[in-house]
């Protein structure tokens, strides 16, 4: 009986205490997973009202046992993670991660969390989450991020230990290793290679090169666009070539995605208007001369 109770405890994942909202810890146990998946699929495609969102928050994030029919634990956990990501409520994500420290299936949620804050140039906030994640996570990206956070805090010995442990289990990433060696002081040569493989790689490309420049295009990931914008690395509107139609279109799209300010786009349009007025003035002057 004790063993069964222990197993059930492992299968409880959430934030809220069911008793606080007159709910049962077994609220999902007898639910049909087929119906759950169908309903969640529909929900993901629509914008819910605040009241509906609050209700679904309680339903998905209340501590409860997993449903047992036509759905496995991994699928149910993914529903919770996808719901948190859809809401973009980072305080809620942080609480969920802190209250479920031993949860294995959380890599995507952690990646989403750290990339969000890094893309906003808030490395400190991104790294804070590792203060609450004590157990090892079998994910190279998260492991690299944690090592970098330790380096950023000047905890070089601890960073080296984590790096060595990662290498022992077969980790290979030449780009990251070069950046690691540079930041540790083992290699003083600046590697100017820019990697867009991940946001962390891109950030490391920036941090380890004082002369870093990068020109994004229509295919550049939104995370990198946001990082460039928040780090003041985007090209100034004042020097954009007005004859480069592709670049103008790219800037219009970037403005729509809120990486350039609307006022900057209007300033770009003002440059077009100025040139047209100038052209008209030249034509009028020519008429007077003739």
pLDDT tens digits for 175-217?
A: 999 999 999 999 998 889 999 999 999 999 999 999 999 999 9
The rounded radius of gyration (Å) of the Cα atoms in the chain is 25
Q: What is the mean pLDDT of residues 9-20?
A: 83
pLDDT recorded at residue 274? 53
Indicate whether 137 pLDDT > 60: yes
**Residue 266 and residue 216 share a domain:** no
Query: Domain check: are 180 and 215 in the same one?
Result: yes
Q: Are residues 219 and 166 in the same domain?
A: yes
Residue 8 has pLDDT above 80, yes or no: no
Q: Are residues 6 and 57 in the same domain?
A: yes
pLDDT interval class at 275 (50, 70, 90): low
Query: Which pLDDT score is estimated for 134?
Result: 66
Please tell me which residue, 245 or 31, carries the higher pLDDT value. Answer: 31
40 confidence band (pLDDT: 50, 70, 90): very high
Q: What angle do CA 55, 106, 223 make, to 5 degrees?
A: 90
In a domain, 282, yes or no: yes
Q: What is the mean pLDDT of the chain?
A: 87
- Is residue 185 in some structural domain? yes
Domain that holds residue 206: 131-233
Q: Which residue has the higher pLDDT, 269 or 229?
A: 229
Given a cut of 90, whether residue 250 has pLDDT beyond it is no
- Please report, for residues 78, 146, 162, the alpha-carbon distance to residue 136 in angstroms, rounded to integers and kept in the order given: 20, 10, 10
The last residue of a domain, from among 105, 121, 141: 105
Residue 177 lies in a domain: yes
User: Residues 114-134: what's their mean pLDDT?
Assistant: 93
Give the chain's domain count. Answer: 3
Better-predicted residue by pLDDT, 54 or 265: 54
Q: Which long-range contacts (CB under 8 A, 24 or more apart) does 40-44 make?
A: 40/79, 40/82, 40/83, 44/82, 44/86
How far does Cα 142 stand from its chain's mean position? 12
pLDDT for 9 equals 46
Beta-ladder partners of 32:
69
Does 53 fall in a domain? Answer: yes
pLDDT band at residue 133 under the 50/70/90 scheme? confident
2 and 68 part of one domain: yes
Looking at the fold, whether 259 and 176 belong to one and the same domain comes out as no
pLDDT at 285 over 60: no
Co-location of 246 and 206 in the same domain? no
Q: Which residue has the tokens 């409860």?
A: 64
How many residues comprise the chain? 290
Q: Are residues 96 and 3 in the same domain?
A: yes
State the pLDDT at residue 72: 93
- Least confident piece of the model among 78-82, 259-263, 272-276: 272-276
User: Do 101 and 168 belong together in one domain?
Assistant: no
Would residue 141 count as lying in a domain? Answer: yes
Query: Of 71, 105, 139, which marks where a domain is finished?
Result: 105
Residue predicted with more confidence, 101 or 181: 181
């Amino acid at each position: 009986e004790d063993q069964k109770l222990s197993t059930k405890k492992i299968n409880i994942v959430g934030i809220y205490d069911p008793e606080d909202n007159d709910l049962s810890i077994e609220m999902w146990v007898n639910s049909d997973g087929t119906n759950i998946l169908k309903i969640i699929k529909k929900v993901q495609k629509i914008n819910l009202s605040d009241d509906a969102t609050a209700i679904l928050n309680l339903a998905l994030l209340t501590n409860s046992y997993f449903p047992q029919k036509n759905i496995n634990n991994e699928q149910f956990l993914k529903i919770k993670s996808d719901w948190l990501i859809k809401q973009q409520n980072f305080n809620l994500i942080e609480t969920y991660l802190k209250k479920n420290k031993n949860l294995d299936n959380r890599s995507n949620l952690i990646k989403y969390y750290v990339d969000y804050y890094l893309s906003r140039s808030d490395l400190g906030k991104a790294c804070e989450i590792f203060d609450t994640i004590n157990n090892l996570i079998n994910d190279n990206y998260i492991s690299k991020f944690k090592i970098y956070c330790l380096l950023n805090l000047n905890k070089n010995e601890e960073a080296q230990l984590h790096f060595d442990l990662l290498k022992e289990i077969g980790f290979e990433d030449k780009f990251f290793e070069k950046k690691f060696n540079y930041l540790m002081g083992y290699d003083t040569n600046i590697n100017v290679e820019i990697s867009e493989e991940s946001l962390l790689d891109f950030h490391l490309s920036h941090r380890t090169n004082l002369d870093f420049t990068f020109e994004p295009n229509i295919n550049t990931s939104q995370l990198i666009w946001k990082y460039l914008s928040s780090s003041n690395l985007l090209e100034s509107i004042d020097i954009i070539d007005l004859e480069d139609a592709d670049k103008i279109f790219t800037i219009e799209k970037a403005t729509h995605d809120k990486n350039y300010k609307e006022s900057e786009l209007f300033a770009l349009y003002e440059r077009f208007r100025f040139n047209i007025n100038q052209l008209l003035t030249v034509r009028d002057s020519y008429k007077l001369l003739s």
